[in-house]
Amino acid sequence: DGTELPEIKEYIDGIQSKEKSELFGAAEGKNVIFISAESLQSFPINNEVNGEEITPFLNSLTKDDDTFYFENFYHQTMQGKTSDSEFLTANSLYPLSRGAVFFTHGQNEYHALPEMLNEEGYYTASFHANNKSFWNRDQMYESLGFDHFYGEEAYEVTKENSIGWGLKDKPFFEQSIKYLQTIEQPFYTKFITLTNHFPFELSEEDRSIEPYDSNSNTLNNYFPTVRYMDESIEQFFNQLKESGIYEDSIIVIMGDHYGISENHNKAMSSYLGKEEITPYDHIQLQRVPFFVHIPGSGKGKVMSEVAGQIDIKPTLLHLLGVDTTDDIYFGNDLFSDDRKGYVALRNGDYISDKYISTSGICYNRETGEPVVENAENEKPCAPIEEKVAQELGYSDDLIYGDLFRFVDFNKIK
Ligand code: GP9
Ligand code: MN
């Protein structure tokens, strides 16, 4: 019956940013083009393989005047993979520790980003060239407030333009433009890429760089498919410019989750030139790129604060000038200075400005050295550990109890 809500709301009140950031409303009325980049981690960004750049286009965005690039941004997904990243992005709630919330709680009441933008007069759609019921998207998208889902049947998929999981990213973006040109503006659209998915298959003709050479074919083949995705995003930017959509839009790019699991640590350590991948390194490898590109803004820069997928909903809503004071969510506006200062991972590990807490060890985030406990420095990671456990618990309460049923957001407004 929602009796837990006041306590949860009080907690949330304590972590929300109180000040409006300087960028509040900076993209008011603009279209949003959100690209969910399959399995893209941060380590290939501004890095090389066989002496060649892996992501030349994304690298150029990290230096671009109109782009904010978050270099310490973490994915927070669990077993629900892409769907967990979608859940985090839409709701600023945590996914579940087991299973996929898209399947288990697809019929809950939510107060998601697409629904909120709907109320602001936005048309909302998701584009993904896969079976509509994969991850129970068809059902969950309705609960999240998407007006339309352009699934596999909206695309011309042939043997020639497919590989691995389906339609290749270049034809995917190319074929999406005609839909973008006809839907009502302003729109919020999400594009989910597919080619850079395990096991990272790519035909010779689509390969612009050579694989890496190690004992892991997964890691070896990851680099050419990451490059292919980078090229597909560059091509999409150009097509958006040609079709006149670009000027009135902001473009957001996010890596959905890791692509290279810890099973490939040996190959990964050789690529990174390290003796081994420590628990600290493993957490740092959970960084995924996050870009916010605002054409003509001129304010872009590299943002080094710790951030995560939980922060996307309030960040985007504030950019679009939507007030979220009475909303229920666990992230922060990444452009506000008043943030909680840590990113919680679903297993209770966390990254704060100062520490990384994982496997029961408290690391100094800057140096990667375990923090030495002494009389003045007793259990330095413990206070935030407790907050993280509490926060994950509240998020679970909201989902398991379907508590959004008991909140009348219209009344609050
Ligand atoms: C499937 C695509 C990939 O539609 O989103 O899913 P993943 O395996 O990454 O969760
Ligand atoms: Mn994925």
Phi, psi of 220 (to 5 degrees): -55, -45
Tell me how far apart the alpha carbons of residues 293 and 1 are, in angstroms, rounded to a whole number. 42
Residue 249 has pLDDT above 70, yes or no: yes
Q: Which of 235, 319, 290 is nearest to 56 (CA)?
A: 235
Ligand 1 center to 74 CA (angstroms): 18
Q: What ipTM does this complex have?
A: 0.99
Name the maximum alpha-carbon separation found in the chain: 66
Q: pLDDT tens, 136-145?
A: 999 999 999 9
- Residue ranges of alpha helices (H) inside 105-216 are 113-119, 137-144, 169-182
Q: How far is the CA of 123 from the centre of ligand 1 (A)?
A: 24
Residue identified by tokens 């997928």 is: 309
Which DSSP category does 3 fall into?
T
Ligand 1 atom showing the smallest separation from residue 36 Cα: 5
Q: Give the number of the ligand closest to the Cα of residue 41.
A: 2
Whether residue 40 has its Cβ less than 6 Å from ligand 1: no
pTM above 0.90, yes or no: yes
Strand order in the sheet with 350-352: 342-344, 350-352, 355-358, 361-364
Q: Which residue out of 55, 67, 77, 82 is catalytically annotated?
A: 82
- Rounded to whole angstroms, the Cα distance separating 229 from 224 reads 9
Q: Give residue 398's identity as a one-letter amino acid code.
A: L
The 10s digit of each residue's pLDDT in 71-113 is 999 999 999 999 999 999 999 999 999 999 999 999 999 999 9
Task: At 294, list the tokens.
Answer: 């605002």
Active site residue 3: no
CA distance 261 to 125: 31
Q: Is 81 in the pocket of ligand 1 (CB under 6 A)?
A: yes
Measured in angstroms, how far is the CA atom of residue 78 from the centroid of ligand 1? 12
d(CA 160, CA 50): 29
Q: Which position has the higher pLDDT, 197 or 376?
A: 197
Ligand 1 touching residue 82 (CB < 6 A): yes
Is 372's pLDDT higher than 90? Answer: no
Instruction: Tell me the backbone φ, ψ of residue 67, rounded to 5 degrees.
Output: -125, 135
Is the pLDDT at 300 greater than 70? The verdict is yes
359: nearest Cα among 258, 279, 278, 276: 279
Residue at 89: amino acid letter: T
What DSSP designation does 407 have?
Answer: -
Tell me the C-alpha distance between 380 and 313, whole Å: 30
Q: Which of 40, 41, 81, 229 to mutate to test the pocket of ligand 1 (most atoms within 8 A of CB)?
A: 81
Ligand 1 pocket, residue 265 CB under 6 Å: no
What is the structure's pLDDT at 413? Answer: 56
Annotated binding site: 38, 82, 197, 256-257
- CA pair distance 188, 126, nearest whole angstrom: 8
- 139/167 Cα distance (integer angstroms): 22
Inform me whether the pLDDT recorded for 237 exceeds 60: yes
CA nearest neighbour of 236 among 280, 176, 287 = 176
303-341: pLDDT as tens digits: 999 999 999 999 999 999 999 999 999 999 999 999 999
Mean pLDDT across the chain: 97
Q: Is the dihedral of CA 89, 93, 96, 102 positive or negative?
A: negative
Q: What is the pLDDT of residue 147?
A: 98
Region 9-31: mean pLDDT is 95
- In this structure, which ligand is nearest to the CA of 254? 2
